[in-house]
């Protein structure tokens, strides 16, 4: 991967912000749809902007979601190698990876073509083998509504939506790279473009929720409960690793215990610090649990190093 490629990825990440949620892009499509429907008669001269903006939102959304999936870890990280087979990880990229400026997910996300619905679906299929089938059935997966599943799919007519998106990408290409005498679309198609883009992003979003989390909470109470349960699971994993490290003959169990006591004190105080940003609010317990969960994950990595340590590793 050449330096110019790395610089472009870094520049995009700086303009975009640090790993903002892909849901923000889905909301941007919905907002664009509302605004267009409100002013379309007065703004007819600017109709060409809509297809160009829509495809940009879709492309950025797809790359952000691909990054999220790959960085989630196995089995998606294992499958990502095929998607990035044309990209060479060299010293320049590795140095940025080491400095945490970039991730493997960034590399994969910026190595795939996203210039057509077919390419987009193929990229997701490379990571999630049953992606197309899941996309056709995708529906909101709120934790509070599990008893009502399965719900009607977000994409009601998959073939029609795919055909509309294909036309949208073709129109964007013409508008961006040519100057046709006549518009390559009818004005009344804009509403369909907006609806198809909204459906695609929403459906992809729910597929990823299904694969990575199963469901997501809709209310703050449920968010708090889910964050707490996630922390409990992580702490149980950490406890098991601690015992495994303690059982190793070349590790001082006494020093390990002293280290863990100090770490627990640090982790609790660091979580207190983060939660103080919403002191007294309904989000307090969720922020506290989320902050400590991040620290526990890092501690798990540290303990895993001790378990996998080979002679001579210091």
Q: Tell me the C-alpha distance between 244 and 247, whole Å.
A: 5
| Total number of residues shown for the chain | 314
Residue 216 pLDDT class (50, 70, 90 cuts): confident
**CATH 1.20.1270.180 location in the chain:** 220-308
Residue 216's SS3 state is strand
Q: What is the mean pLDDT of residues 258-269?
A: 97
Q: What is the assigned CATH class of domain 220-308?
A: mainly alpha
CB-facing half-sphere around the CA of 67: CA atoms within 13 A? 20
Tell me what pLDDT residue 45 has.
76
Q: What would the pLDDT profile of 26-69 be if each residue is shown by its tens digit? A: 888 898 889 888 887 777 778 999 999 999 999 999 999 999 99
Q: What would the pLDDT profile of 90-139 be if each residue is shown by its tens digit? A: 444 554 554 556 788 888 888 889 999 999 999 999 999 999 999 999 99
Q: Tell me the C-alpha distance between 26 and 175, whole Å.
A: 23
Indicate if the pLDDT at residue 22 is higher than 70.
no
Q: What would the pLDDT profile of 161-203 be if each residue is shown by its tens digit? A: 999 999 999 999 999 999 888 999 998 999 999 999 999 999 9
Residue 238's SS3 state is helix
Q: Tell me the C-alpha distance between 166 and 186, whole Å.
A: 15
Crossing angle of the two packed helices 49-72 and 158-177, in degrees rounded to 10: 120
Tell me what pLDDT residue 100 has.
56
Tell me what pLDDT residue 7 has.
65
């Amino acid at each position: 991967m050449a330096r110019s490629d790395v610089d472009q990825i870094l520049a995009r990440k700086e303009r975009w912000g640090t790993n903002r949620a892909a849901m923000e892009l889905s909301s941007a499509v919905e907002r664009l749809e509302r605004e267009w429907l409100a002013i379309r008669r007065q703004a007819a001269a600017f109709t060409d902007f809509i297809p160009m903006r829509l495809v940009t939102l879709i492309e950025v959304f797809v790359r952000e979601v691909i990054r999220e999936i790959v960085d989630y870890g196995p089995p998606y990280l294992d499958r990502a190698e095929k998607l990035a087979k044309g990209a060479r990880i060299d010293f320049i990229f590795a140095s940025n990876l080491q400095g945490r400026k970039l991730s493997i997910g960034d590399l994969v996300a910026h190595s795939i073509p996203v210039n057509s619905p077919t390419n987009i679906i193929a990229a997701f299929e490379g990571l999630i083998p049953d992606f197309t089938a899941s996309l056709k059935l995708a529906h909101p997966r709120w934790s509070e509504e599990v008893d009502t599943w399965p719900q009607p799919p977000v994409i009601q007519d998959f073939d029609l939506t795919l055909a509309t998106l294909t036309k949208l990408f073709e129109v964007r290409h013409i508008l961006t790279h040519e100057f046709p005498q006549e518009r390559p679309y009818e004005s009344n198609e804009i509403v369909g473009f907006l609806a198809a883009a909204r459906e695609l992003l929403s459906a992809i979003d729910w597929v990823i929720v299904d694969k990575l989390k199963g469901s997501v909470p809709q209310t703050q109470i449920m968010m708090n409960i889910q964050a707490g349960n996630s922390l409990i699971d992580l702490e149980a994993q950490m406890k098991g690793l601690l015992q495994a490290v303690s059982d190793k003959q070349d590790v001082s169990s006494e020093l390990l215990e002293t280290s863990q006591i100090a770490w627990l004190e640090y982790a609790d105080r660091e979580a207190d610090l983060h939660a103080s940003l919403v002191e007294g609010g309904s989000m307090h317990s969720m922020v506290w649990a989320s902050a400590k969960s991040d620290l526990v994950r890092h501690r798990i990595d540290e303990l895993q190093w001790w378990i996998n340590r080979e002679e001579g590793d210091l």
